[in-house]
Amino acid sequence: MPETAVLLLSDLHLPREPSPLRESFLRFLAGPARAAQAVYVLGDLFDVWIGDDAGLQDHAPEIAALRALSDSGVELYFMHGNRDFLIGAGFAAATGARLLDDPQRATLDGVPTLLSHGDRFCTQDRGYQRWRRFSRHPAPRALYAAFPLPLRRAIASYARARSGRDQAGKPEAITDVSEAAIRAAFEGARVTRIIHGHTHRPAEHVYQDGGQRRERIVLADWRPDRQEYLRCAGGELRRIELTRS
Ligand SMILES: [Mn+2]
């Protein structure tokens, strides 16, 4: 029986400008991704996404490569991040990706798993959660979508700069996930594994709750010196550095 690997990645934050990260992602799609059963992108694939109209053009090479991957028979799943939550049906149609709800329960390699971008678990960051609720609300979204392209770009870059300043001033514990939110997610979804990104703090956290072993895997963000994905197959999880695979 052929091994059926599932690959997961998040927080690539691919920019609109030419970048080695964009090249690496294209190498990933043409290389290791082709041998997988499924590829899950758990959000913030793009650093900014102001709408499918602009995004599909700004990221034409990635869109074509994602399409080639799904045409080759690899299942492609995409979850929104806080930077690219405006990805919509146009992206799904162009790439062949299925858009997932956040959180999403899935059985990966036989393990009941909860997948999430991760920002929903950062409940101690009240200011951020307020912004999250506002930005995902249909009314402001419809208003934003009706703005001309240059205005949408300007608003996005203002929001990004502001959030960078806000986050820099907050203590680490506030911007990380809340353990209470994680426990509630384990209980609610009845899973023994959570995989998420967003915090840029790659780690494996193991919990022992009433004799039950649970684990929380935090995916790594991509940097010039580190581009990795998580490979889930044959009963083990492995972080694989793209440059060495
Ligand atoms: Mn994020």
Identify the band that residue 115 occupies on the pLDDT scale cut at 50, 70 and 90: very high
Cα 200 to averaged position of ligand 1 atoms, centre (Å): 8
Ligand 1 centroid to Cα of residue 99, in Å, is 16
Q: Which domains does the chain have, with CATH numbers?
A: 6-244 (3.60.21.10)
Ligand 1 center–CA 83 separation, angstroms: 6
Residues whose Cβ atom is located within 5 A of ion ligand 1? 44, 81-82, 198
In this prediction, what percent of the chain has a pLDDT beyond 70? 98
Distance (angstroms) between ligand 1 centre and the Cα of 65 equals 23
244 pLDDT more than 60 = no
Q: Give the distance from CA 238 to its chain's centroid.
A: 18
CA 75 to ligand 1 centroid distance, Å: 23
Q: In this predicted structure, what is the pLDDT of residue 243?
A: 75
Q: Which pLDDT score is estimated for 141? A: 95
Separation of first and last alpha carbons in the chain: 23
What is the per-residue pLDDT for 2? 56
CA of 227 to the centre of ligand 1 (A): 16
Mean pLDDT for 14-19 is 96
- Whole-number Å distance, alpha carbon 98 to ligand 1 midpoint, is 19
How far apart CA 72 and CA 219 sit, in angstroms, is 26
Output the CA 199–ligand 1 centroid distance in Å.
7
Q: From ligand 1's centre to the CA of 49, what distance in Å?
A: 13
For ligand 1, the distance from its centroid to the CA atom of residue 222, given in whole angstroms, is 12
Q: How far is the CA of 171 from the centre of ligand 1 (A)?
A: 17
Contact between 25 and 100 under an 8 Å Cβ cutoff? The reply is no
Cα angle for residues 42, 141, 174 (degrees, 5° grid): 50
Q: What is the pTM of this model?
A: 0.96
Q: Residue 161 contacts by C-beta under 8 Å, 6 or more apart in sequence?
A: none
Lowest-pLDDT range, 69-73, 90-94, 115-119, 205-209? Answer: 205-209
Distance 196 CA to ligand 1 centre (A): 10
pLDDT greater at residue 212 or residue 101 = 101
Does the pLDDT of residue 27 top 60, yes or no? yes
Please report which confidence band the pLDDT of residue 210 belongs to, taking 50, 70 and 90 as the band edges: confident
145 CA distance to ligand 1 centroid (A)?
A: 21
Average pLDDT, the chain: 95
